[in-house]
Amino acid sequence: MSYISLYRKYRPHKFSDVVGQEVVVKILQNSIVENKIGHAYIFSGPRGTGKTSIAKIFAKAVNCLNNKKGDVCGKCDVCNKGQTEEIDIVEIDAASNNGVDEIREIRNNAKLLPSLYKYKVYIIDEVHMLSTSAFNALLKTLEEPPSHVIFILATTEFNKIPITVVSRCQKFDFKKIKTKDIIKRLELILKEENKELDSNIIEFIAKVSDGGLRDAINLLDQVLSLNKEQITLEDVYSLIGYIEDDSIFDLLEQMFVGNITNTLKYLDEYTQSNKNLSFLCGKLIDIVKDIIIYCNTNNYFSKSYEDKLNKFSTIDIDQIIKVSEILLNLQNELRRSSNQKIVFEIYLLRIVLLFNKKEEESPKIESIIEEKEAKKPEIIEKKVEDTPKKEVENNPDNIEKNDDEIKKIRINNAFSGANKELKTKFVDKFDSINDYISQKEYTSLANLLLKSTPEVVSDKNILFTFKKDIDANLFNLNIEEIQKLLKLIYKKKYSIIAITDEEWQDLKKEYINNIKNDVKYEYIEEKVVKKAKNTELQMNMESVFGEELIKEE
């Protein structure tokens, strides 16, 4: 008998077996009970959080002949049909079928009635991988969906899906799964498999999987296949290239005293023993986050952990926040890089430089960085000093740079009313911004605005572009103030948004394509998203680390 992976074996087949995602499951079940089923859904969220599993269950549940409170009955012909015999539930992996032909085929087939079921369901996995023409073909179907068809578009990269598609779908956000829920699931699988593992190993697997249940189960699978009598935590460490906390604390200490040689030595050791650098980066971010918490709270952590953090408590908090920002940039770079080690070195050197005050005594530092950057020219210079002021909490109109939905809506709205005459009028007056440079409160905003290009102008919305990523981010973090400044000049309130030149090139292509294909941009109301006011510390940390990381423990 061939081996079935634990992940496939324990994949949930009904809503009641799904781990986490309670909100999503509840809404979907209710929609079935109340017979308010949509024709297009977007399931967006991190990998391994149940998007495809829930899509498959939903596809069965809408068709189940004996539906129980919106969940599958598990007994009828629909529920018992194996995946290979399915005709009316079609799964497509956009990562391997990103062509327009495949989507056209779906379009033609979608018109036909389901062979057996009430609904024909198309699940398109990794939908962001579709080509622009494929998206346009899909859009045609989404505009007038046959009543018997449901599309479920799953994605880990929501920001890559055209707004024209998004606006026609109901969106569900999938959250990372809580560590304690992952532990419960792993324990259940072990029990079913008649296997045993130390609880500290189970806990470790759950934590290291960072909210991805699939990753956790796959790691459990690997660990069990070590086929050892007594599996130890060390076995698991070497399996995944894990680095122990103490070693990472030592590395941090070397960085914070500004010791270049020792910092590089640690990194050499890690790469020589095949340690996992992405993991190391995540861990450094975690510890730096904990240092910030430790410096601002009492008795938040265990005594032994606080003892470790304590040696960093004298470091200036602004410096620590800078460190966290460098590390977050590093994390992004690592995902794209083919030579992780050199990227890692460059970023860690940047941190060391923050703490290395005796520049005249170490003339080599700059040259080391220059030398390394010369080898890796595609790394974008991101000066820490340029980092925008984070004042998100005071300005509800400002958006966080990861707030893709508002960004998409504003871009869409600018396009929906795009008008050349309005643009000319707007640009004509743009130079007046210079008048505000001398006014202290507007100096930095005016300077920033002057670096931008107003690209799309409508009656209510303006889309600005910037050459540099960091300027676009800075702009989006200060939207409310910039809107105020524009109001002074133009005597009216615009909803504004900034993107990079690179993003603009893609958007322009998409726009031209849509116009050619007669796809219209319709104005979308911005929903007022009111965030619960947290303590100031919490908000500060969210702006540095993102909501996900803070909520986790």
**For Zn ion, the closer CB: 15 or 266:** 15
| 373 class by beta-carbon count within 10 Å (0-12 exposed, 13-18 middle, 19+ buried) | middle
- Nearest approach in angstroms of CB 524 to Zn ion is 37
Contact call for residues 177 and 20 (beta carbons, < 8 A): yes
**Which candidate, 148, 150, 154, places its Cα nearest to that of 130?**
154
**For Zn ion, the closer CB: 38 or 74:** 74
Identity of the amino acid at 532:
A
3-state SS of 295-353 is: HHCCCCCCHHHHHHHHCCCCCCHHHHHHHHHHHHHHHHHHHHCCCHHHHHHHHHHHHHH
How many amino acids of this chain bind Zn ion (CB under 5 A)?
5
Task: Tell me which residues in 493-512 interact with Zn ion (CB under 5 A).
Answer: none
Task: Tell me which residues in 69-128 interact with Zn ion (CB under 5 A).
Answer: 72-73, 76, 79
How many CB atoms are closer than 10 A to CB 308? Answer: 18
**For Zn ion, the closer CB: 79 or 549:** 79
Task: Tell me which residues in 7-66 interact with Zn ion (CB under 5 A).
Answer: 64
**For Zn ion, the closer CB: 12 or 546:** 12
- Nearest approach in angstroms of CB 119 to Zn ion is 13
Looking from the CA of 341 toward its CB, the CA atoms found within 13 Å total 12
**For Zn ion, the closer CB: 73 or 437:** 73
Q: What is the three-class DSSP state of 292?
A: helix
- Nearest approach in angstroms of CB 54 to Zn ion is 16
- Nearest approach in angstroms of CB 118 to Zn ion is 12
- Nearest approach in angstroms of CB 67 to Zn ion is 7
Q: What is the three-class DSSP state of 68?
A: strand
- Nearest approach in angstroms of CB 154 to Zn ion is 23
Query: What are the two backbone dihedrals, phi and then psi, of residue 341, each rounded to the nearest 5 degrees?
Result: -65, -45
Contact call for residues 28 and 59 (beta carbons, < 8 A): no
* Order of all β-strands in the sheet with 40-44: 89-93, 120-125, 149-155, 40-44, 170-173
Give residue 105's region: left, alpha or beta (phi > 0; psi -120 to 50).
alpha
- Nearest approach in angstroms of CB 66 to Zn ion is 5
**For Zn ion, the closer CB: 68 or 104:** 68
**For Zn ion, the closer CB: 76 or 489:** 76
**For Zn ion, the closer CB: 71 or 126:** 71
**For Zn ion, the closer CB: 64 or 406:** 64
Contacts 24+ apart (CB under 8 A), 357-362: 357/258, 358/258, 362/260
Task: Tell me which residues in 431-490 interact with Zn ion (CB under 5 A).
Answer: none
- Nearest approach in angstroms of CB 73 to Zn ion is 4
- Nearest approach in angstroms of CB 91 to Zn ion is 19
- Nearest approach in angstroms of CB 164 to Zn ion is 35
Q: What angle do CA 550, 270, 264 make, to 5 degrees?
A: 95
Distance of CA 423 to CAs 417, 427, 455, Å?
11, 6, 8
Strand partners of residue 93: 125
**For Zn ion, the closer CB: 76 or 224:** 76
3-state SS of 389-407 is: CCCHHHCCCCCCCCCHHHH
State the residues that interact with Zn ion by CB under 5 A.
64, 72-73, 76, 79
